[in-house]
Structure 1
């Protein structure tokens, strides 16, 4: 089963950082869904930017693309997981400023950035209000934030197959996110909720895609048996479509701006 209920844990930061650090070496090879969802943001980015933050940069995939797109800009990558930042340094060098830190307590001065990019990162933060307040603080007046995050219902097929609804990622609903944005004084330029579906040949591939990007098998007092796995596989097979076993990501895409 998938353990994605990290935001109810006292030591959520350490657990998230550890999980993603472990996943770092194989992250990009298994992050097909994450990369495709990130493309949703790419077309909406502004033509020019000079100080850019990739918030939740992971292995630096998007930070490097931002550096290419904004060749004269200063690019900063922020991530909670040391292992992710080490992979980013190894792959992309030191031309990008790799910074350890939490999206809800960023290590930057006020008005540091005119553009923040964040793809599927803030759902791991238990306090969405703190994240939005920090975005307001670090953005320059007129600065933009382009964000994708996840909504309730993400990975619903996985939870159904294992008969463990508590495995669903605990995220605020869209109304709660909008309320947090309003309290932060950021302005919503555009918001879009969508369901993105991805398909896998079998249960092993489904689980690899999730574990490979930082999710963990839940620690249960009763270890999973072969019978448990076979039962979950049979349930998932009932959901099979022509393209394979479906896995849904409920996405919220946001274009925010700090007023002048």
Structure 2
């Protein structure tokens, strides 16, 4: 079994001053192997794909990672669609450039302070990045600023209850069971309204994936960079206890990992 030393996937309290640096470093480390472990992330992203507009000339892939969706967006909208892939992690952008070349403009920046002009985009696409942004209101205000009137933002993010099985397996008597602190649908709706979006659509779904053992579960999470906040060192007893707890949840298809997915459709 692989040793697991990084458990906290999102801050359970206001992020420390170096939160962004730690997130960027974790995702940069994961960049070379991201594609191998991102099956769940890609499956959830497909829910956004069916909602794309017929045409878009200027597109932003927010939290683009190694560029999977950026490349698909470039293919989807052809030569008329200029795609920018933006990520906080330099390592992810290096991998994106290596895999997809210069047909896409790659940009390293913070989603809460976009280095983009006002009203210049037709579409923002963002799959599972918003949960890593501590200032939700600032990010949505920035998206409203950079979208043209009538422009749309299609966003997938995660809600409370996501990875509940992982939280339960790794909880200790001295710690609460929940390791994660995701924002609920009402919080996102309120932030979108404050940002000034004229139309706000909010949809929630639950998606469950299965893995053969605990090592595979943790590899699927760590392999996509979700390991920014380092937890206390784990002992062999911790690993044994976590395995026993998770095995009690086993289903015919394997060990379950549940994601509570929130999809936002925002129009400026």
TM-score (norm 1): 0.95
1:95-244 matches, cutoff 5 A: 95-163=103-171, 165=176, 168-216=179-227, 219-221=230-232, 223-244=233-254
Tell me the CA shift for residue 73 of structure 1: 0.7
Q: Is contact 2:128–2:156 with CA below 8 Å preserved after alignment?
A: yes
Tell me the CA shift for residue 108 of structure 1: 0.3
Unpaired stretches in structure 1, ≥5 consecutive residues: none
Q: Is contact 2:61–2:126 with CA below 8 Å preserved after alignment?
A: yes
**CA–CA distance in structure 2, aligned partners of residues 217 and 229 of structure 1:** 20
Unpaired stretches in structure 2, ≥5 consecutive residues: 1-5
Q: Is contact 1:103–1:125 with CA below 8 Å preserved after alignment?
A: yes
**CA–CA distance in structure 2, aligned partners of residues 236 and 253 of structure 1:** 28
What whole-Å deviation, never above 9, does each CA across 1:32-74 have from its counterpart, x for those lacking one?
A: 1100000000001001110000000000000000000000211
1:79 alignment partner, one of 87, 90, 93: 87
2:27 alignment partner, one of 20, 27, 37: 20
What whole-Å deviation, never above 9, does each CA across 1:107-156 have from its counterpart, x for those lacking one?
A: 10101100000000010000110011000000000000000001111111
Aligned residues: 257
Q: Is contact 2:63–2:87 with CA below 8 Å preserved after alignment?
A: yes
- SS of 2:202's equivalent in the other structure is strand
Q: Does 1:3 align with 2:8?
A: yes
Tell me the CA shift for residue 168 of structure 1: 3.0
**CA–CA distance in structure 1, aligned partners of residues 85 and 176 of structure 2:** 34
1:238-257 matches, cutoff 5 A: 238-257=248-267
Q: CA RMSD in A?
A: 1.4
Stretch of structure 1 that moved more, 187-196 or 36-45: 187-196
Tell me the CA shift for residue 226 of structure 1: 1.4
Tell me the CA shift for residue 173 of structure 1: 1.3
Tell me the CA shift for residue 9 of structure 1: 2.1
- SS of 2:102's equivalent in the other structure is coil
- SS of 1:37's equivalent in the other structure is helix
**CA–CA distance in structure 1, aligned partners of residues 180 and 77 of structure 2:** 34
Q: Is contact 1:5–1:166 with CA below 8 Å preserved after alignment?
A: no
